[in-house]
Amino acid sequence: MTSQIRSIVAVLTAVVACGVASNASAQVSDSQKFTVTVPSNLSITAPVDAALTHDESDANQSFPNQAWTVVGNSLSGVTVSFATGSPFVHTADPTYKRDAQLGLAVTTSSGPGAWTVNQATDVTDYSNSDDIATVTASSNGTSSATFALAVSFITDAYGSFPSGDYATTVTGTVTAN
Q: Residue 166, Cβ neighbours under 10 Å: how many?
A: 20
State the pLDDT at residue 74: 95
Residue range 42-176, CATH number: 2.60.40
55-101 confidence digits (pLDDT tens):
999 999 999 999 999 999 999 999 999 999 999 999 999 999 999 99
Provide the pLDDT for residue 25: 74
* C-beta of residue 103 within 8 angstroms of C-beta of residue 150: yes
pLDDT at residue 91, rounded to an integer = 98
pLDDT, mean of each 10-residue run, the chain (177 residues): 58 53 74 95 98 98 98 97 98 98 98 98 98 98 98 96 98 98
- Domain ranges across the chain: 42-176
Q: Compute CA 140 distance to the chain's CA centroid, rounded to the nearest angstrom.
A: 14
Identify the pLDDT of residue 10: 56
Beta strands in the chain (DSSP E): 42-45, 61-62, 66-72, 78-84, 88-90, 97-98, 100-110, 115-119, 121-123, 134-139, 143-153, 166-167, 170-176
Task: Enumerate residues 6+ apart whose C-beta is below 8 A from 171.
Answer: 82, 83, 85
